[in-house]
Amino acid sequence: MMTVLRQQMHYSPMMQFILSDEERRLFWPQRYCFCGSIDGWISIGVPDTLAHVVKTYVKHLGKASYFELFSYS
């Protein structure tokens, strides 16, 4: 049964960090939005170091708080 489940499992990226400043190594945090009219990547913060954006945002994966992440900028 586990073999069948593994064959049917699909994973989708939910969060990404886009390099915005190569020299300073700053990354834009983004999450995937499932709003119907958007269905795409939205910014959820401002560019920062990879360590900082990972620490700030990855903890929301798999939690309801993920859907509350968005940026006003």
Tell me what percent of the chain is helix, strand and coil, each rounded to the nearest 5: 30, 30, 40
| 6: CB partners within 8 A, 6+ apart | none
Q: Is 6 left (phi over 0), alpha (psi -120 to 50) or beta?
A: alpha
The domain limits of the chain are: 13-68
Q: If pLDDT is split at 50, 70 and 90, which confidence band does 70 have? A: confident
* DSSP secondary structure letter of residue 25: T
- The pLDDT, as a whole number, for residue 39 is 83
The per-residue pLDDT for range 9-67, each reduced to its tens digit, is: 666 789 999 999 999 999 999 999 888 777 899 999 999 999 999 999 999 999 999 88
pLDDT at 73 over 70: no
* DSSP secondary structure letter of residue 66: G
